[in-house]
Structure 1
Amino acid sequence: MTDPTATSSLPVAAAKKHNMRLGIPRPSTAFSTAQLPGNNQLASRSGNGLIAPRQLPSATQDGSAAPGQASRRTTMITSRGIDGRESVMGVGRGDIRIRSSVFPAPGQGRPSLASGMHPSSIVRDPRPVRDKAFQNSCVKTIGEYLAAVRYPGSMTPKTLVSPTAKEFHDIFRFLVNDVINVGMVWGKKFDDDANTVLKDLRYPSMESFTKTSFTAPGSPQSWPNLLAMLNWLVELCKAHDNWNDSDCTSDPVLMSWEDLPLDYPNLEDRLLWNFACKTYDQWFNGAIEEFSEAEQELENIYGKLVTHYGLELMCESGRMMTTSSKEREKLEMAVQKRDVELHQLQAQEPPLKKIEDEYVQLMSDKTKFIAFIDLHRQKAEKTRQAILKVRAGISGQEEELESQRSDLARIESAVNAQNLSPDEVNKMNHDRDTLIRHLDELRIKIAEVSQSSYDQELMVTKCMDRFESLHADYTSFAHQIGLLSEPRDGSTVQPDDINYHLDFDLGGEGLEDLRTIGSRMRTSVWQGLQARRETYRQRALELSNDAITLDDIHDRIGQQVDRRKEEAANLEVKLRMTHEKAEAAQTKLGLDNVNTNEIIVQLETEVTNMLAASQQGVLTVQSQLESTRIAFKELRHRSALLKDAITVQVGEHIDMILKAKQHALNSLRSIRALADAQ
């Protein structure tokens, strides 16, 4: 079975590498091949190594498309417009990087096709767009270029100073058509088309445009940025005009072989190609059998190459001698350094204890890795079973293809054996042309359906990636709250007889298996989570009751403190009364009342100690109560939000994945049925 893409002159990867080296921008898929005229013509040139856009894979003799065409995305590197110039635009998905899934199965990682086409970081415009000198330079550059290319629109002195919306739109369309193609199809909304074109051309300062920039381009706020953008487009047009000019390019593919240096890596291939072309042209035009002049020229060039390589060999030998002496000195220094290190190691005590600790750690890691390997072996077994199912389906399709081919050969032999009249032959030819037209229409429909299927595949892949991210969050949170921790007996079932492990592969398991897993998640896992939430709610209620109890205790302690304060106040009153009595007695009795003074000092000390102890106790109880209350509120709020959000998102994404996968399967079945019917 032949590959429909085998007719390309270069592999797609080589063409991509070549375009990256030439600096060709790779726009997104905003411009389809239908918008670029001439996409059905070969635009490759033998000199620059560019390849033509791949056509739609033609049907085989039995009417079915060639195998593998659904998985191969066509890539358009260049296209030739009406004026014969090569466009630098290219569309395709062949340059999308494939990244691995978050949970790949061993040996069978499911590639994710979702990837950004543009850089996410915003780069500010470094040009002085508000500077008058810069604006005058841009006006001069744009005006000279429009005059040189004979711009058909009307130009006034204010066109490049404060243009109207129509003047700006005409200039922008003219420059864009000059860069991309004359057949560029413009929509009704100029703002959307302009933003799409600039994004595809990778204009580096898209953030400088606002919603009103293209509707009112002549305003003082919008025109400086738009003028800088037009100047950028003019520079791009100039570079595009000189794209294939050998005097302006340094690309060795576009240069003549006579201008290449002798150390060019593919010079021999270029010489052989030029020799073959030149001799074939002479033979074809003049029927010449001997090519002495071309052979002599080739021998002279190879003589120069031999001389060049001889000089290089001599220089290389000298460099090798110098390098060997330097290496010898380095080795001697390294030997001395290693001797010093050896003496140091011999003088030190052997690190046996450290090695033993490392051994214990490694043995623990070994046990963990063995469990990890067992888990991945189970996943690998599931993947192998899925591969066997796919191979069985492929074998059935190949047998069906062979039977169709045998039927086609039998029908052709029967048709050749018939004796048909010219009218019947003409009628059959007419019917064949009609069938060919119908077949072309079916190919177009198949291409449209394939594109729709690819979009559905991208959506399914994004949903699967989102689901895997949510599954990782679910696993992480489940480990944190103890749902996936193994009990002491080693089983994965929790005390409530529910297995919360969600172990499956979205890329390897069938639709029925995914439905079974989704049903289990909606029934057992969801109910188990609801039961645990109810349990946690009961615990939270108990903690709330405990908090209420603590509040009551706090109130009682506060009442006791108040009573103590009242007692202290009473004691202070009594102390004051005693002090007054003491003063009166002192006034009366003099300095003989020493016992009364001792009683007063003792009472003051007791009151102070009681006040300090009561205040310290109140502060301690209040701090403990507040910290406990804050921690409990945060824990309850976070656990409730995380459980509800994760459970709802997991359920929604599983339903979305199942619906998208079922829709994709139905689309593929309808395509196959349509192809079989035709």
Structure 2
Amino acid sequence: MESEHPTLQDASLVPDEFDDIHHHHALAMSHYLDAYEVFLLGQDVYPEQEKNLEERYALKDSRVVVDLEQKKEQMKAISADLQRILKAPAPIEQLKESNGYLKHDRAKFEEYIRVAEQRKEGLVNTIKHEKTELAQTLAAIDQLKAEEARLTSIVKVQNLSPEEVLRMNSEHEVLTRDLESLRYKIAEASRNALKLEVSLTKKVTDAEEAVDAYTNLLSSLGLFPPLPEPLQDVKLTLALNTAASNPPEMLMGSGLREVIKPSLAIIAELKRAERADVESERIKVDNELDQLTTEWENMEEEANEVLNKVTALNDEAEELREVAQQEALVSNAEATHLERELAQARTSAMANGVGVKSRLQAVQIAYREQVDRVERLRDETVRAIIKNSSDIVTFKEEVSTQLKDLRDFAEEN
């Protein structure tokens, strides 16, 4: 008993999860013992013992059930990923499309870099020109200062009379006033030059922004080279050269008035012609669609009329069949009657001799006519039914063909 071996069939020794057959036998033995105790007390049903056994096996399978649910969720996620991968286009197609976009962006970026390099070159030239002017101005100022010092030293060493000194002082005062006036004018000119420089800088910035906007507009409209015929050799790009001394030379390009404006007018005319063609094509397609809609409505009306005719023909065929059946019944009754009369005639002929033979022949002829009439009515009924069925099938095939053609045309357009 201390060995705790599975064959002892002790239910308390069974782990939560098990696969050994002895553990199953132990739980079964425990269930038998508990149920037998209840049976000895006079009960024939054991719901509590069965419930305990079910709960014990549910405990055994709980981890497996949880693991199974997790596996099911993982399978659903993997299936969804698989469907998404199968429905998605091939990675090489996406890479080719991305490669095309990147090449297009690279071409636009290289064109933008070229324009920016031109702007940079123009700005560098402008800075060099300004530095040169600044150096010349500083040199002129130093020269004037040296000249002033030389003149001052000359005045100091000269022996002048009071009248000359007075005259020179008055001249100096006049020159001083003139110098102040010149300084004021220079300051005013400097302020005006600064204002003009600020205004020029703003206008240059506006012009550069306009050129950039024009370049971006060309990029968005796809008007970078090569252009379509007859403008394959025309370049519509512009660049601003702020270092140019001649204003007409500041705008670098193929020529705004001579080439770019006429080319843009030609492109606008081509686009208007394309738009007019597209609009006319759209109107044509709308008209064709309206015609097809009208034809479809007419065909639908004709189909309804033919359906009504087919229904009427079916009703007529049904009536003919009923009439034929009634006539066949009447003919069968008459044939039966004639057969009975023929039998009687044969009996009478056999009894009366040759005198009744003519009556027998007349009855036989009438019988054959009646049989032929029944066969003829049957054949006419069958032919009418076959004809109506054939008409219905032909009509359905024709309507299906017309509707299929209409659907294919609508999908293609």
Q: State the TM-score, normalized to the length of structure 1.
A: 0.31
Of structures 1 and 2, the larger Rg is shown by 2
More helix by share: 2
